[in-house]
Amino acid sequence: MILEGLRRAFEMLLSFDPQVWGPVRVSLEVSCVATLLAAVAAIPLGVVIGLSRFAGRRIIVSVLNTMLALPTVLVGLLVYGLISRSGPLGAWDILYTPTAMIIGQTILAMPMICAFTVASVERSDPRIRLSMLSLGAGRIKASVAVALENRAALAAALAAGFGRVFSEVGVAMMLGGNIRGYTRNITTGIAFETGKGEFALGVALGTVLLVVALAVNFAVGYWNYRGGRRQ
Amino acid sequence: MQQAAGNGTMLSLRDVRIVRGERTVLSVEKLDLAAGIHVLEGPNGAGKSTVLLAAAGLVDLAAGQVLLDGTVLHDGMAPAPVERRRRIALVFQDPYLMSGTVREAVEIGLKIRRVGSQERRTRVDPLLERLGLKHLASKRSTKLSGGERRKVALAQALVLDSQVLLLDEVTVNLDEASKQTLIDILRERAGGGHQVIVIASHDSELAHRLDARVHRLAGGRVLDDGVRRP
Ligand SMILES: Nc1ncnc2c1ncn2[C@@H]1O[C@H](COP(=O)(O)OP(=O)(O)O)[C@@H](O)[C@H]1O
Ligand SMILES: [Mg+2]
């Protein structure tokens, strides 16, 4: 039965079956947008935390690291409470839409990207900032230069954030609702189809998930390595 | 003793104290550096680099002030305000070059000051030529030898034509020809009488060739007040 399932799964993948590629598209779109939105906030914040030396900095960093383990269903629950009909943002009417999934995944990706950014800035070459300051740069320009010189490590941070949200189920299920052709993504699709006995479709979706997750993991490792090199 | 008056340009440290960790690594009651060339001499750990970092406004002062022509350049927390720091250029003991080409690296300070591309070119080109860097202009700055990297760092600072020029162990890795070129450039600039040039070095021959005033440092203190070696 497993072999037969595998064979049918590959047929579906190769024939561009919309039952497979629909959820793949939703996953890619939602997770890419969420990762980019998270990065816009998390990278500058991470650079500032990584370069500064105020009291209580250590505490912020450990809170951040703890948030990496934030269960996805808790984030789902929190956002659900905000956007469901009776919630404070109920008027937006966005529950069970891709927008809701994006909000949840953005919240999930932010601590990941921020923590990676802090770590890379902390172990980056301290001479970068000092050189820029000595050449007449203001603090902001000097910080931007630190980010640019560490762009490989920041790419790893992005990939790590994307890896976190791309493979999660909790937020997608609770806020997206697994609506076929609309909010059904790879992970909710797998859970649903397998439960229904559609094993081959589950395997086909699982294959895409695995390939993307491996590629992302490889990218994180590669960029981390590049980011660690020094002059 | 050196002339304190004259055309006026004067870099001064007053009651400067710098603490790193728990330790006071620099304690300078009074150091006046008039226009011209000064060499800070002393063993490793004497505090030479720290004096330069303080003058550049890049290290916290636990006490005291750095003054240029009587106005405050730096006191308290680093970094000093940007408009003050822009009166000074510093070449680090172990320079880091941003990724990009050699030309881009040398232009950074001018770009930061919003100097137009035409003027950047007319200021950078002759300097690259003179330092023997012209053929490297479009080479990536990460692919340079130690000596080449130091010359690029020098060019980065020299091109700014700032009132104060601080050079940390600047002749390390330089071949004799490059060293002579640098000495010529520095002597020309000092001849103008408006620039304060301070070099940290333990190469005493250098001080002689530059006809510099020598300030000996040890244990974070200045031992003598700018003697000119015969
Ligand atoms: N970043 C730093 N952290 C702690 N101590 C430092 C740091 N930089 C320099 N020091 C200490 O300050 C003292 C003076 O150093 P430095 O000015 O670099 O000496 P020099 O340039 O004369 O060799 C040394 O004892 C050194 O260990
Ligand atoms: Mg030194």
Instruction: Express each pLDDT in B66-96 by its tens digit.
Output: 999 989 999 999 899 999 999 999 999 999 9
Nearest CA to ligand 1 atom 9: B50
* Cα B103 to ligand 1 centre (Å): 32
Do the strands B221-222 and B213-218 form a parallel or antiparallel pair, or are they unpaired?
antiparallel
Distance between Cα B95 and ligand 2 center (Å): 12
pLDDT score for A77: 96
A141 CB within 8 Å of a chain B CB: yes
Which residue in B59, B98, B167 has the most chain A C-beta atoms within 10 A of its own C-beta, making it the best mutation to test that interface? Answer: B98
Confidence of residue B104 (pLDDT cuts 50, 70, 90): very high
Mean predicted confidence (pLDDT) in B210-214 = 92
CA distance B92 to chain A (A): 8
Question: How many other C-beta atoms lie within 10 A of the C-beta of residue B176?
Answer: 8
Residues of A in contact with B89 (CB under 8 A): 134-135
d(CA A90, CA A39): 26
Phi and psi torsions of B166, nearest 5°:
-115, 125
Average pLDDT of B200-210? 89
CA distance A154 to B102: 24
For B68, what's the count of Cα atoms within 13 Å in the CB-facing half-sphere? 21
Contact B95, A131 (CB under 8 A): yes
Which residue ranges of chain A lie beneath pLDDT 70?
228-231
- Chain A residue with the nearest C-alpha to that of B83: A136
pLDDT of residue A197: 87
Q: Tell me the chain A residues in contact with residue B99 when contact means C-beta distances shorter than 8 Å.
A: 148-149
What is the pLDDT at residue A142?
Answer: 96
- Mean pLDDT across chain B, nearest whole number? 91
C-alpha dist (Å) from residue A204 to A16, A177, A196, B81, B85: 11, 21, 15, 59, 61
Rounded CA separation A216/A210 (Å): 10
Q: Kindly report, residue by residue over B140-172, the tens digit of the pLDDT.
A: 998 999 999 999 999 999 999 999 999 999 998
Orientation angle between helical segments B176-191 and B146-158, nearest 10 degrees:
10
Q: What per-residue confidence (pLDDT) applies to B202?
A: 81
**What residues pack around ion ligand 2 (CB closer than 5 A)?**
B 48-49, 93
Quick one: pLDDT at residue B47? 94
- pLDDT value, residue B193: 83
3-state secondary structure of B168: strand
pLDDT at B230: 53
CB A183 within 8 A of CB A172: yes
* Ligand 1 pocket list (CB less than 6 A): B 20-21, 25, 42, 44-50, 200
Token code pair at residue B153: 């760092």
Report the sign of the C-alpha dihedral through residues B224, B227, B14, B109, in that order. Answer: negative
Per-residue confidence (pLDDT) for residue A64, from 0 to 100: 92
pLDDT value for A4? 85
Query: How many CB pairs (< 8 A) connect A and B?
Result: 54
Q: Does A78 touch chain B (CB under 8 A)?
A: no
Q: With H, G, I as helix, E, B as strand and everything else as coil, classify residue B20.
A: strand
Q: What is the pLDDT of residue B4?
A: 44
pLDDT of residue A231: 62
For residue A231, give the nearest of B85, B92, B142 by CB distance. Answer: B142
Both structure tokens of A200 = 């081959």
**A127 interfacial to chain B (CB closer than 8 Å):** yes
Identify the structural domains of chain A with CATH numbers, from first to last: 2-230 (1.10.3720.10)
For position B70, what pLDDT does the model report?
87
CA-based R_g, chain A, Å: 20
Of B85, B97, B113, the CB nearest to A133: B85
**Residue B172, both tokens:** 């390390």
pLDDT of residue B1: 37
